């Protein structure tokens, strides 16, 4: 046992968790922490805005498998974290937020910069901890890291009053913790494994559906093995893109509101759906009643509260997806021979051929459209490049046209759909993987929400590339207003948007504008070779919409393939 202050114990606990970088912003209520951070050996990145810091920690976490850490002072610092923490919560990302709080004696008295952040964050975190004495700090941090990154991961808040930071105590740094209310994984039910294998073995038209849970549990290997053994097509949710190489012959791509037409169609013809690490989000399944109507659904998830939440399933298995899928694969491999291409694969190829004709997949144009830019970008980017996005049509064009080939190289906000996620997440990702290219593919609207992250990129010399599809509009919303509100464009047009090239230059980054695909390709290649952050402004037509499109409240079979079918052109 050693005596030290709460703040010094925090540094020691963070070092024990092997924290290399903290994305933070100092202020009155965390000054003692910042004083100890000064010579802690832990890298601190000054984030300019706490939301930016939370997204950076999130991007870092999604790429690196480990928690990402962000820090803020009390009051406005803590409330600025909220959007970032909610984003991490919805996408099950292990982010640790450490906030300073006013001294204990001031709590509840509306002290300067006092916000009840524990109350505010309660419904958007996996857990919150407020150590009320310095001696509690080591176990608070130990449990925060353990809880954030086990079972179904999620953000954890540690709110430390200022007097606790400076208080001295005898510290014990626990190696292990027992938390009686928390069992990340229950033992796997072998009977259900056998049942699942039996249903799959008998399936005539199986579809394997994977989501973010497969990435989180690193379960791509058994997932792929099952698909290949059964010769079963694979669909993903948007979060699951990349858990199965999208250029694999069995991959139909993502399904959902802007999923691939073939995925949206064929899922409706399945007789068995193996749904692994997914949560049946309305954006992915459409109306729950219609989804998988004629199929037996087997659901694998880490979180018991996901079972039967949005859709009653026939069989569910709780636990770690990697282990469960591994066991199902083993059982299957013992009983069935590798299946050859039968009538189901024939049917799949038929639908694929049919869908090649839809206007959303048309490749005959050679101008600067979202799909053209995205496909070209894929050709240019090395395999292991990491792509982050904002939220909007640009993101959906990536969903449809950007083939993700490796897990953890596609980082996007799906659950909360947070504009402004892309750029800071890219910077965070680059900290986790400095050796691979990291690209933020963004919309002008999304970019402007957190553009200060560019200052961080320049300051920290992290050469990310931000590509802005600049339609001078909140394009996705404009599209909805075009389709559902008779072209009454309300609040979507940017009439005096910034000159993004000058903006980049003002931040000290390399700003470019391109007006053709050739120029785009050339500039992107230059950016890949540069050690400076680069921004590429790509002017695009705001009237060019994203398809396929399943309207909200509809089911996947109602997917519309182009503007003509939608009746808007």
Ligand X SMILES: Cc1ncc(C[n+]2csc(CCOP(=O)(O)OP(=O)(O)O)c2C)c(N)n1
Quick one: DSSP state of residue 128? E
**Piece of the chain touching ligand X by CB under 6 A; list 12-20, 141-149, 443-451, 520-528:** 443-451
Does the annotation count 162 as an active-site position? yes
**Piece of the chain touching ligand X by CB under 6 A; list 108-116, 373-381, 426-434, 475-483:** 475-483
Instruction: State which H helix or E strand residue 236 sits in.
Output: strand 234-236
**Six-digit token pair at 52?**
């930016």
Considering only residues 341 through 400, tell me which ones interact with ligand X, judged by CB under 6 A. 390-394
**CA nearest to 140, candidates 291, 16, 300, 303:** 16
Out of 476, 500, 534, 550, which one is annotated catalytic?
476
Out of 20, 104, 113, 566, which one is annotated catalytic?
113
Instruction: Tell me the per-residue interface mask from 400 to 419 with ligand X, x by CB under 6 A, - otherwise.
Output: -----------------xxx
Q: Does residue 446 interact with ligand X by CB under 6 A?
A: yes
Considering only residues 120 through 139, tell me which ones interact with another protein, judged by CB under 8 A. 122-123, 126-128, 130, 132
Contact at 8 Å (CB) between 169 and 301?
A: no
Q: Does residue 181 interact with another protein by CB under 8 A?
A: yes
Out of 3, 112, 505, 569, which one is annotated catalytic?
112
Least distance from C-beta 75 to ligand X, angstroms? 21
**CA nearest to 276, candidates 229, 329, 231:** 329
Strand order across the beta sheet in which 410-411 lies:
410-411, 386-389, 438-443, 465-470, 534-539, 510-513
Least distance from C-beta 336 to ligand X, angstroms? 44
Does the annotation count 505 as an active-site position? no
Residues in Cβ contact with 353 at an 8 Å cutoff, skipping those fewer than 6 apart: none
Q: State the Cα–Cα distance between residues 447 and 426, nearest whole angstrom.
A: 12
Does the annotation count 339 as an active-site position? no
Q: Does residue 247 interact with another protein by CB under 8 A?
A: no
CA distances from 12 to 4, 45, 422 (A): 10, 19, 32
Q: Does residue 477 interact with ligand X by CB under 6 A?
A: yes
Helix/strand/coil for 429: helix
CA distances from 352 to 32, 88, 263, 264 (A): 61, 35, 9, 11
**Site size toward ligand X, by CB under 6 A:** 20
Q: Does residue 303 interact with another protein by CB under 8 A?
A: yes
**Piece of the chain touching another protein by CB under 8 A; list 253-261, 304-312, 488-496, 522-530:** 304-312
Choose, by CB under 8 A, the member of 307, 315, 380, 551 that binds another protein: 307
For residue 275, how many other CB atoms are within 10 A of its CB?
26
Q: Does residue 469 interact with ligand X by CB under 6 A?
A: yes
Choose, by CB under 8 A, the member of 11, 86, 147, 208 that binds another protein: 147
Contact at 8 Å (CB) between 434 and 460?
A: no
By the criterion CB under 8 A, which residues form the site for another protein? 118-119, 122-123, 126-128, 130, 132, 147, 179-182, 303-305, 307-309
Q: Which residues are catalytic?
A: 50, 112-113, 162, 476
By the criterion CB under 6 A, which residues form the site for ligand X? 390-394, 417-420, 443-446, 469, 471, 473-477
């Amino acid at each position: 046992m050693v005596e030290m202050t709460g703040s010094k114990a925090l540094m020691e606990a963070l070092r024990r968790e092997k924290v290399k970088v903290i994305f933070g912003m100092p202020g009155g209520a965390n000054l003692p922490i910042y004083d100890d951070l000064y010579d802690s050996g832990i890298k601190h990145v000054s984030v300019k805005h706490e939301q930016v810091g939370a997204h950076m920690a999130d991007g870092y976490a999604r790429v690196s498998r480990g928690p990402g850490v962000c820090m803020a002072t009390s009051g406005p610092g803590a409330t600025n974290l909220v959007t970032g923490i909610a984003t991490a919560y919805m996408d099950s990302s292990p982010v640790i937020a450490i906030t300073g709080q006013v001294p204990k004696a001031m709590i509840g008295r509306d002290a300067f910069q006092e916000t009840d952040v524990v109350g505010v964050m309660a419904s958007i975190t996996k857990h919150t901890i407020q150590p009320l004495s310095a001696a509690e700090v080591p176990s608070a941090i130990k449990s925060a890291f353990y809880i954030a990154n086990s079972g179904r991961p999620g953000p954890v808040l540690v709110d430390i009053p200022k007097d606790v930071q400076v208080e001295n105590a005898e510290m014990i740094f626990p190696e292990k913790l027992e938390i009686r209310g928390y069992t990340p994984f229950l033992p796997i039910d072998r009977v259900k494994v056998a049942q699942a294998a039996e249903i799959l073995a008998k399936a005539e038209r199986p579809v394997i559906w994977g989501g973010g849970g497969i990435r989180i549990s690193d379960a791509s290997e058994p997932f792929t093995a099952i698909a290949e053994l059964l010769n079963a097509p694979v669909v993903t949710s948007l979060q699951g893109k990349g858990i199965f190489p999208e250029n694999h012959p069995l991959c139909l791509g993502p399904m959902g509101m802007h999923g691939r037409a073939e995925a949206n169609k064929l899922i409706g013809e399945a007789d068995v759906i193996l749904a692994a690490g997914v949560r049946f989000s309305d954006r992915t399944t459409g109306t729950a009643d219609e989804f998988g109507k004629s199929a037996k659904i087997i659901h694998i998830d880490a979180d018991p509260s996901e079972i039967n939440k949005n859709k009653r399933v026939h069989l569910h298995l709780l636990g770690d997806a990697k282990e469960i899928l591994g066991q199902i694969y083993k059982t299957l491999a013992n009983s069935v021979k590798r299946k050859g291409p039968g009538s189901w694969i024939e049917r799949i190829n038929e639908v694929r051929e049919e869908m090649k004709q839809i206007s959303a997949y048309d490749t005959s144009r050679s101008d600067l459209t979202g799909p053209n830019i995205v496909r070209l970008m894929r050709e240019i980017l090395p395999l292991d490049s990491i792509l982050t996005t904002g939220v909007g049509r640009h993101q959906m064009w990536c969903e449809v046209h950007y083939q993700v080939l490796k897990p953890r190289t596609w980082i996007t906000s799906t659950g909360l759909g947070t504009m402004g996620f892309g750029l800071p997440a890219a910077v965070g990702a680059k900290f986790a993987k400095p050796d691979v290219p990291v690209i933020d593919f963004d919309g002008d609207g999304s970019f402007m929400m957190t553009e200060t992250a560019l200052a961080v990129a320049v300051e920290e010399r992290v050469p990310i590339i931000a590509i802005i599809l600049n339609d001078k509009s909140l394009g996705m919303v404009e599209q909805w207003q075009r389709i559902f509100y008779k072209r009454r464009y309300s609040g979507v047009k940017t009439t005096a948007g910034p000159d993004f090239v000058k903006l980049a230059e003002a931040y000290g980054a390399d700003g470019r504008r391109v007006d053709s695909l050739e120029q785009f390709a050339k500039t992107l290649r230059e950016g890949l070779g540069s050690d400076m952050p680069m921004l590429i402004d790509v002017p695009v037509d705001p009237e060019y919409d994203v398809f396929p499109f399943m309207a909200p409240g509809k089911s996947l079979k109602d997917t519309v393939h182009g503007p003509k079918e939608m009746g808007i052109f």
